[in-house]
Structure 1
Amino acid sequence: MDPFGTRGARSAALWIAVGLAGPIAPVAMGGPPVAESIGAGTVRFFADADAQTAAHPSYALEKPRPSVGPAPEGFGVRVAFSVDGAGKRVARVDCPPGTDFYGTGEVPGQLRRNGRSTVLWNHDAYGYRDNSPSLYQSHPWVLAVRADGSAFGVLADTTYRVRVDTGPSSDPESIVLTADGPAFPVIVIDRPSPQEVLVGLADLTGRMPLPPKWAVGYHQCRYSYFPEARVREIATNFRQRKIPADVIWFDIDYMEGFRVFTFDRGHFPDPRALNADLLAMGFHNVWMIDPGLKARDDEPSPNEPPGSDLDKEPEAPRKAREAEKARYRALRDSGTAADAWVKNADGKVYQGQVWPGWCYFPDYTDPGVRRWWAGLYADFMAQGVTGVWNDMNEPAVFNVASKTMPEDNRHKGDPGMPRDDGTPQGPDAAAGDHARYHNVYGMMMVKGTREGIRAALPDKRPFVLSRANYLGGHRYGATWTGDNTADWYHLESSVPMALNVGLSGQPFIGPDIGGFAGNGPPGQEAELYARWIGFGALLPFSRGHSGKDTIDKEPWAFGPEVEATARAALERRYRLMPYFYTLFREASVTGLPVARPTFFADPADPALRHEDDSFLLGADLLVVAQMVPDRSRSPVMPAARTGERWQAFDFDGDSTHKDLPGLYLRPGGIVPAGPVTQYVDEKPLDPLTLLVNLDATGHAVGTLYEDAGDGNGYRDGEYLLTTYAASLAGDVVTVSVRGVEGRTPRPARKVHVRLFVAGREHRGEGADGQELRIGVR
């Protein structure tokens, strides 16, 4: 068999596909396609030898992946290359009947992507809908799951605009990738299960760094909490009402005239003191930084008070404002001195309009510019800032039809970035236009931001949230699903959107709970929020956020009944924090997502492939939500063997809240939980609760990961990873520690066991680390 020799060359020259724009004219390539192995079950395809030689270094891959030999004989997936009538490069993968498609990153609509077309071009997509072709992020990746549950992934390794057609109606058993720019490699990972494909993707693109534990808590945000007194009011309400939360966010109105790295000293006179007071209450903080730097000093920013109002301010804040502006001019001018700005095609510095007015934009593709950018965070983080939010970094530009900078703008790139053979690409190959670098602009901004936080706070784990992203961007920060709307469509889309981003290699993902834009359907605002916070409290990134000129959307804003629901929802998250943090650690080690599609419980079960209303947390916990107003949909549950069941459970009767999702424990699973806390490190984990559901053989197993919650000691073994096991013998179940990793000693604490056998709950308690026996007669 010769799947990549003359037969492959013939198919590359002669195949004809039909895409959205009509027939693709067959154009012969310059020679036979090239297929090389770059790891077990992983093959990289090139259109021909010339394309292999000319390939750009990869931004998706964590490091160069040189060939380890020819593609294995009989590799089950083929890629055919062509050029369409418009001169665009096309790669096509034929798929067996019954294949379902997932991934493609941040996409609206349903989880299953069959019959969908996605244009990967980072786009400011405020209020997006199901037919929006492009959103804020680009992940040129498709996960294909065959009818038998085996799977393969397809990665288009290009930063240019790509249209991904997954099972188009004209050709439903195919993946067609149509890209601007030069010929691009396609990497295929073929494995026995979708989980193993995602581990293979992480082998290529890297793993998410373990975040600080506080970032796994609940976040509260608004555009904007302003002035300082409002921030303090929000923090006090959370603590007085005993609603768990860990983070309060600051949108752009904290800045002096939207100038980045400044503070409006008239309304935030002492940010260091504010951050210290919040931290004393158990709140970390995240502050927004955008890429646009105000260019024109003689142009007032849109939000700046008129001079007549400023003249009425007391002398101290007026002088403080002027000092902020002077400090800003100095840092901006340091960027000019560093030749930091993106250029027009004619070589002049580009300016585009964003929040402060006309702005310069740093060229984050240049590692020297990223170093300059990182250095700006030293003073900023010294104000007690604990996290950073990079927004508007598609990059978004106002008052132009494209909503971004011209595609012929010029970037320097990274001359030292290595090709697959390890040699640097050099300055001529690195330099490129914005069409090449647009999709990675935001990711490179976040890379620089992360480097700046690490330098400023070397003993802390950085937390960065980015609106724009590209495949592999999980190496630098978390993300969310952008500016959604307070309506039932966006509520219903929240889970499948988060899952598809997770299936594209980014575990730290979630929506704006409650909807960013708008107030909600008239008369249904409270119900919409209650339903959203119910399941949103269990997604990996859990943040309530709302826009300007919308109603308040804090957990208490809709009255006592919804407040009680929100409190119960967030108490669930904090009770399950031991499990959540364990899953984040697993994601940082394996690359598996924290939230997973229900079909991961049985990839061969076709009934689960369309399931949008439920999701798995890790492997052991199923969350079943009601996504439509009349609660008329019944999610499909994973099947269980005879003598097993996905065991429903709750905490202290919280299932009586009608808007909370159902929780189900996998047969054979052990899930660690703890008491309610108001923030993650309020008190030690004591008692530890183990939720145990025996399988048909009478066994269960699960793990608990613990460390300091911040800092870098875990890299040197300062953690405790415990494997717990349960087994039934006769009428007695024994729960014990099966294995231990790490140097951190086990704390002296109680352990409570909630044991489910044949649908009945039994309880026991003892000391953690000691064998516990529970009678089940």
Structure 2
Amino acid sequence: MKLRLEAGNDGFDLRFGDRLVLRHSLSCPAVVMARGNADIVMVRGNFRISDSPGDAVTPSGWRTCYQGVELLDGDVAVARIELASNTLKVRTLVAGYDRLRVNFHAEPGEHVWGGGEQMSYLALNGRAFPIWTSEPGVGRDKSTELTQIMDADGMAGGDYWNTNYPQPTFLTSRHDSCWLAVHLDASCYSVLDFTDPGVHAVDVWSNAATFELFADAAPTGLVGQLSTHFGRQPQLPDWAIGGAIVGLKSGASSFDRLERFIEAGAAVSAVWCEDWAGVRETTFGRRLFWDWHNGTRSAQRYPDLKARIAGLHGRGIRFMAYANPYIAVDGDLYEEGRAGGHFCLRQDSDDVYLVDFGEFDCGVVDFTREATRAWFAERVLGREMLDIGIDGWMADFGEYLPTDLRLADGSDPMQAHNLWPVLWAEVNARAVESRGRTGDAVFFMRAGFSGVQAHCPLLWAGDQSVDFTRHDGIGTVITGALSAGLVGNAYSHSDCGGYTSLHGNIRTPELMQRWCELAAFAPVMRSHEGNRPDDNLQYDSNAELLACFARWSRVHAHLAPYVRQLCIKASEAGLPAQRPLFLHYPDEPALFTVQDQFLYGADLLVAPVIEQGAVQRQVILPGEGLWRHVWTGADYAPGTHTVPAPIGQPPVFYRPDSDFAALFAGLQEVLNR
């Protein structure tokens, strides 16, 4: 399938095969250009970005040229569109013009998805989505008191579009077996703007933009193409899908607490101790000491760690840790990093550029430098972590690259900012590969951008608030997994129990129980103690919560044979484990906006309870043929049903004719064991 040009009465059409993708006319120009005037402020990973573009030019005329067309302002060529087989390149021809708006064709009733990992909306219609990796914010709803408080404190409240993992890729449906995807192959700041139903507009902060087009008769095929394009993850290892990862950060006593989980009957695959390198107390809560090595602080926190890890391995339990791409100025590794030239520098001197992470400063490891990538992969992740037996880690952050520092390769930080998570993922993957442990050791990330798929084996949904709120609570992890899965990320999971507890917002038993129900139906089930563990309930705070976690960890482990097949399918066809309903039922437009339930593979349908106090919920059962309720065995016809959903019985259905029907039928016995 190739792009081709068709001339019209007052303009031209660009078609991809038979599919109209861009139309230029007097009433709807394909390209608008301007001179940018940006203002960018960053506070601890929260950005305020604005622009006052001037001297806008809206080309109206056009003429053919070699490999494409030139757009004219009067008789002057001001922009050029060049065509390859599935690539569309737009560039300005006038010096100083560094803003482009490209208007792709939209049809009535068309739905749009994508944008990377979007936490608030699966369908993007009617809204604009800036593509800039950042902290997602706390609250993420300007009408709530929590968001307003956080906005007043370092612009930290966020909005519906803020995300750790944006990606300038969108998918569309034309309702005629025509599924399209458009990807902007650029790392600069951009905006996907779907506020005008007549166009899919993309704003690009550059004088040139390259778009790649994909098409398929079915959404499954389109998602598979995108997965191939961006790179597929290795299959998750058996240990990661075969039980729960228990997150504990209380030093050496974490091992004693782990025993309580095991004694309660939990299926435990690993213990995750993010505080392995030490801790520091801040007003935000208990933070980690950002100095990633098995040194004095680690020895004080976890004596004889290497031997303890070996002991866990002997029992079939893995040990996971934590790292991020910054090093605290008061850490042992800082001076080594500074002497080796491994940090980003200030623009006005050769001093290390320091970032305030909230009561402590850090150097930013400069991954544009090959020697630095090798140093961090080998010296830090290799020798300090993998070589003492650590089996994986949270590869945190990646969103904080400031735009006013100096990079070793001389690149523009505005262009490098979105790429930083990809470079960070590449360094982690490099370390794992160096020890021959690709597909065995697992790191997981929240930050991302186009291309992170080729390096990061597992996403996690970031720092949700410990509540049921619409834009920052438990439900956002479903939306995040579904949206990220559409652009090539097969595996996602969340902090079971939530993370962010501020201004009196603390966990409730109900939230903890409902999160277990959700986490059991993700490829990886992992708990987290949160940013204020002493103020919040933990899964070992009382017998009831411990029993709850144990039950759902057994459910998760029971599903491992099915999840293994999903991993195989992901590696072969690029399909994510958790899928929007429309992915398998594209002929049902009512499913296009459903984001509070999902297909787990093709044979399980999961409708988690994400509304506080709910004891029933509406469930949409798509397609033809019966769906069987896991907990009662009752069969339901396709359609919308109100289903009982008491705590302990979230609505879960399976296809009776599935090859895994017997496995699914055994879930009730496993839960009640």
Question: For the superposition of Structure 1 and Structure 2, which TM-score range results when normalised by the shorter chain?
Answer: 0.7 to 0.9
TM-fit CA distance, 1:553: 4.4
TM-fit CA distance, 1:467: 2.5
Instruction: Give me the whole-angstrom Cα distance separating, in 1, the residues matched to 2:619 and 2:92.
Output: 42
TM-fit CA distance, 1:198: 0.7
| 1:487 partnered with 2:467 | yes
1:628 to 1:453, Cα distance in 2 relative to 1, 3 A: same
| 1:354 partnered with 2:357 | yes
Instruction: Give me the whole-angstrom Cα distance separating, in 1, the residues matched to 2:550 and 2:64.
Output: 58
In the alignment, residue 650 of structure 2 is paired with which amino acid? P
TM-fit CA distance, 1:410: 2.9
Helix, strand or coil for the counterpart of 1:573?
helix
TM-fit CA distance, 1:232: 0.6
Task: State how 1:142-161 maps to structure 2 within 5 Å.
Answer: 142-148=170-176, 150-161=178-189
Identify the residue that residue 603 of structure 1 maps to in structure 2. Answer: 586
1:555 to 1:124, Cα distance in 2 relative to 1, 3 A: same
Helix, strand or coil for the counterpart of 1:2?
strand
TM-score by length of 1: 0.67
| 1:411 partnered with 2:411 | no
Greater strand fraction, Structure 1 or Structure 2 = 2
Identify the residue that residue 323 of structure 2 maps to in structure 1. Answer: 289
Instruction: Give me the whole-angstrom Cα distance separating, in 2, the residues matched to 1:753 and 1:352.
Output: 49
Helix, strand or coil for the counterpart of 1:532?
helix
Instruction: Give me the whole-angstrom Cα distance separating, in 1, the residues matched to 2:113 and 2:411.
Output: 31
Match of 2:647 among 649, 658, 672: 658
- Contact kept, 8 Å, 1:486 with 1:519, in 2: the verdict is no
TM-score by length of 2: 0.77
Instruction: Give me the whole-angstrom Cα distance separating, in 2, the residues matched to 1:186 and 1:28.
Output: 20
1:8 to 1:601, Cα distance in 2 relative to 1, 3 A: closer
1:366 to 1:593, Cα distance in 2 relative to 1, 3 A: same
Match of 1:245 among 246, 253, 268: 268
Helix, strand or coil for the counterpart of 2:550?
helix
| 1:226 partnered with 2:256 | no
In the alignment, residue 290 of structure 2 is paired with which amino acid? F
Instruction: Give me the whole-angstrom Cα distance separating, in 2, the residues matched to 1:260 and 1:215.
Output: 23
In the alignment, residue 121 of structure 1 is paired with which amino acid? W
In the alignment, residue 609 of structure 2 is paired with which amino acid? Q
1:199-236 deviation line (CA, Å, top 9, x unaligned): 111221111122322222455465x612212x112310
In the alignment, residue 409 of structure 1 is paired with which amino acid? L
TM-fit CA distance, 1:578: 0.4
Identity of aligned residues (%): 22
Identify the residue that residue 391 of structure 1 maps to in structure 2. Answer: 396
TM-fit CA distance, 1:605: 0.5
Helix, strand or coil for the counterpart of 2:320?
strand
TM-fit CA distance, 1:126: 4.1
1:565 to 1:89, Cα distance in 2 relative to 1, 3 A: same
1:611-664 deviation line (CA, Å, top 9, x unaligned): 222110111211122222234641221031xxx3122234999x9963332222
Helix, strand or coil for the counterpart of 1:469?
coil
1:459 to 1:143, Cα distance in 2 relative to 1, 3 A: closer
The number of residue pairs the alignment matches comes to 582
Identify the residue that residue 109 of structure 1 maps to in structure 2. Answer: 120
In the alignment, residue 278 of structure 2 is paired with which amino acid? M
Match of 2:169 among 137, 141, 151: 141
| 1:207 partnered with 2:232 | yes
Identify the residue that residue 645 of structure 1 maps to in structure 2. Answer: 626
TM-fit CA distance, 1:338: 4.4
- Contact kept, 8 Å, 1:217 with 1:542, in 2: the verdict is no
TM-fit CA distance, 1:18: 11
TM-fit CA distance, 1:115: 1.3
- Contact kept, 8 Å, 1:31 with 1:49, in 2: the verdict is no
TM-fit CA distance, 1:388: 2.4
Identify the residue that residue 342 of structure 1 maps to in structure 2. Answer: 344
Identify the residue that residue 119 of structure 1 maps to in structure 2. Answer: 130
1:599 to 1:527, Cα distance in 2 relative to 1, 3 A: same
- Contact kept, 8 Å, 1:220 with 1:545, in 2: the verdict is no
TM-fit CA distance, 1:500: 0.6
Q: Which runs of 4+ in 1 moved over 6 A?
A: 17-24, 29-37, 47-52, 78-86, 519-524
Structure 1 residues 514-523 or 240-249, which shifts more? 514-523
Identify the residue that residue 592 of structure 1 maps to in structure 2. Answer: 575
Helix, strand or coil for the counterpart of 1:91?
strand
- Contact kept, 8 Å, 1:159 with 1:436, in 2: the verdict is yes
- Contact kept, 8 Å, 1:486 with 1:520, in 2: the verdict is no
Instruction: Give me the whole-angstrom Cα distance separating, in 2, the residues matched to 1:242 and 1:597.
Output: 33
Instruction: Give me the whole-angstrom Cα distance separating, in 1, the residues matched to 2:655 and 2:415.
Output: 45
Identify the residue that residue 602 of structure 2 maps to in structure 1. Answer: 619
Instruction: Give me the whole-angstrom Cα distance separating, in 2, the residues matched to 1:197 and 1:614.
Output: 21
1:451 to 1:34, Cα distance in 2 relative to 1, 3 A: farther
Gaps of 5+ in 1: 38-46, 53-66, 73-77, 302-324, 396-403, 414-430, 673-688, 693-751, 755-777
TM-fit CA distance, 1:142: 1.0
- Contact kept, 8 Å, 2:246 with 2:268, in 1: the verdict is no
Match of 1:260 among 273, 292, 307: 292
Identify the residue that residue 371 of structure 1 maps to in structure 2. Answer: 374
- Contact kept, 8 Å, 1:480 with 1:541, in 2: the verdict is no
TM-fit CA distance, 1:152: 1.0
Instruction: Give me the whole-angstrom Cα distance separating, in 1, the residues matched to 2:660 and 2:439.
Output: 28
- Contact kept, 8 Å, 1:8 with 1:32, in 2: the verdict is no
- Contact kept, 8 Å, 2:241 with 2:557, in 1: the verdict is no
Instruction: Give me the whole-angstrom Cα distance separating, in 1, the residues matched to 2:503 and 2:356.
Output: 31
Task: State how 1:567-582 maps to structure 2 within 5 Å.
Answer: 567-582=550-565
In the alignment, residue 649 of structure 1 is paired with which amino acid? V
1:238 to 1:652, Cα distance in 2 relative to 1, 3 A: farther
- Contact kept, 8 Å, 1:544 with 1:554, in 2: the verdict is no
- Contact kept, 8 Å, 1:206 with 1:475, in 2: the verdict is yes
- Contact kept, 8 Å, 2:578 with 2:601, in 1: the verdict is yes
CA radius of gyration, larger in: 1
Instruction: Give me the whole-angstrom Cα distance separating, in 2, the residues matched to 1:151 and 1:615.
Output: 20
Instruction: Give me the whole-angstrom Cα distance separating, in 1, the residues matched to 2:64 and 2:275.
Output: 50
Instruction: Give me the whole-angstrom Cα distance separating, in 2, the residues matched to 1:143 and 1:660.
Output: 34
- Contact kept, 8 Å, 1:516 with 1:547, in 2: the verdict is yes
Instruction: Give me the whole-angstrom Cα distance separating, in 2, the residues matched to 1:12 and 1:262.
Output: 64
- Contact kept, 8 Å, 1:601 with 1:638, in 2: the verdict is no
1:224-262 deviation line (CA, Å, top 9, x unaligned): 612212x11231011100112212222246338532224
1:401-459 deviation line (CA, Å, top 9, x unaligned): xxx52x1423345xxxxxxxxxxxxxxxxx41111111111221221122112213458
- Contact kept, 8 Å, 1:611 with 1:635, in 2: the verdict is no
Task: State how 1:420-569 maps to structure 2 within 5 Å.
Answer: 431-458=410-437, 461-477=440-456, 478-489=458-469, 490-518=473-501, 525-550=508-533, 551-557=535-541, 559-560=543-544, 562-569=545-552
- Contact kept, 8 Å, 1:36 with 1:71, in 2: the verdict is no
- Contact kept, 8 Å, 2:78 with 2:92, in 1: the verdict is no
1:16-36 deviation line (CA, Å, top 9, x unaligned): 599999999444499879999
Gaps of 5+ in 2: 15-22, 34-49, 69-76, 142-158, 280-288, 635-643, 669-673
Identify the residue that residue 182 of structure 1 maps to in structure 2. Answer: 207
1:100 to 1:375, Cα distance in 2 relative to 1, 3 A: same
1:533 to 1:277, Cα distance in 2 relative to 1, 3 A: same
Identify the residue that residue 45 of structure 2 maps to in structure 1. Answer: none
Instruction: Give me the whole-angstrom Cα distance separating, in 1, the residues matched to 2:108 and 2:508.
Output: 43
- Contact kept, 8 Å, 1:11 with 1:80, in 2: the verdict is no
Instruction: Give me the whole-angstrom Cα distance separating, in 2, the residues matched to 1:668 and 1:593.
Output: 22
1:215 to 1:272, Cα distance in 2 relative to 1, 3 A: same
In the alignment, residue 98 of structure 1 is paired with which amino acid? G
1:86-138 deviation line (CA, Å, top 9, x unaligned): 94222221122121111211222132221122111111234242534322122
